[in-house]
Amino acid sequence: MTSVRDVLLDQLAACHNDESWFKSSTTILDDISVADATRKTSGHSSSIWEIVNHLIYWNEMWLRRFVNDEVIEKHTIENDETFKMDYTKIDEAGWNEARERLNQSFLEWRDTIRNCEESKLERRIPSYFNAQWWGVISNLCIHNAYHIGQLMVLKKQS
């Protein structure tokens, strides 16, 4: 029987760089220019880069929470703010930095899951709906996959 760890690692790999059921974030973002990353198309309220910023925020946030085993309900930022751009960094270096941060967040998640105690994945989070960590991480992967789909649609439109 496959373990929870193996399922999570498979989900993270699919979102990160494994070509399985859908194009990975790495494949989609690899050849996108700064102009295409910042373009907003009709019918979409966010650009590719803004969605990448959103994914970076939530992946890094939940990774910190998992590593520190601490979930505080109070958010210091509204969800819409997680899409915001740093308009002083809209250039090739800034775009490369954003892609690398997303890549690094997936690498860190995969390494952390690979090396954590299985019992930690089963542990409940009393301050977060009493959910188990494995379920929260699985939902984070679903969240990533949803937005990766948006990235693919936006890429096709550019």
**DSSP assignment string, 99-114:** HHHHHHHHHHHHHHHH
Torsion of CA 91, 78, 67, 137, to 10 degrees: -100
- Note if the pTM is more than 0.85: yes
How many other C-beta atoms lie within 10 A of the C-beta of residue 141? 21
Q: Spell out the per-residue pLDDT of the chain, length 158, in tens.
A: 689 999 999 999 999 999 888 999 999 999 999 999 999 987 768 999 999 999 999 999 999 999 999 888 666 789 999 999 888 889 999 999 999 999 999 999 999 999 999 999 999 999 999 999 999 999 999 999 999 999 999 999 88
Q: Greatest CA separation found in the chain?
A: 50
Q: What pLDDT, on the 0 to 100 scale, is given for residue 73?
A: 67
Residues in the chain: 158
Q: Is 35 helix (H, G, I), strand (E, B) or coil?
A: helix
pLDDT at position 1, please? 66
Break the chain into its structural domains and give their ranges.
4-157
DSSP H or E run through 29 = helix 25-29
Q: Give CA–CA dist 30/32, Å, rounded.
A: 6
Provide the pLDDT for residue 112. 99
Q: Which CATH architecture has domain 4-157?
A: Up-down Bundle (1.20)
